């Protein structure tokens, strides 16, 4: 597999170097492997966190990135007697 790193894709070299440094990987392919495995796992973990009972709107914002946007919203609905309301709507 070849990854373009010239022209508008030059930033990819810097990203791989940053990953190599942060993870102490010795090769670009090792850094790429780490990055893809981490991303897949982290997306699953973020989905679990989003549905966790301790999630808040502020925490969802902290966990968001430019490429992953978490939105947390509480919705509540109280329907005491739906049959009475249906008759009132008629």
For residue 27 the two structure tokens come to 């090769």
Residue 18 lies in a domain: yes
Average pLDDT of the segment spanning 73-78: 71
How far is Cα 53 from Cα 75, in angstroms, rounded to an integer? 14
Residue 75 lies in a domain: yes
pLDDT over 70 (residue 19): yes
Residue 44 belongs to what domain range?
7-89
Whose CA is closest to 43, among 12, 69, 24, 13? Answer: 69
pLDDT over 60 (residue 49): yes
Residue 1 lies in a domain: no
For residue 64 the two structure tokens come to 């968001």
More confident residue, 83 or 31: 31
How far is Cα 23 from Cα 10, in angstroms, rounded to an integer? 21
- Whole-number pLDDT of residue 26: 92
Specify burial of residue 70 (Cβ count, 10 A radius: 0-12, 13-18, 19+): middle
- Whole-number pLDDT of residue 47: 87
Q: How many domains does the chain have?
A: 1
- Whole-number pLDDT of residue 58: 85
């Amino acid at each position: 597999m070849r990854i373009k790193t010239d022209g508008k894709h030059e930033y990819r070299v810097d990203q791989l170097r940053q990953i190599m440094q942060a993870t102490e990987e010795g090769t670009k392919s090792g850094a790429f492997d780490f990055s893809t495995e981490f991303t897949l796992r982290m997306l699953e973990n973020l989905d679990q966190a989003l549905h966790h009972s301790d999630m808040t709107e502020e925490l969802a914002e902290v966990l968001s990135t430019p490429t992953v946007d978490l939105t947390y919203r509480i919705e509540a609905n109280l329907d005491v007697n739906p049959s009475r309301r249906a008759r009132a709507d008629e």
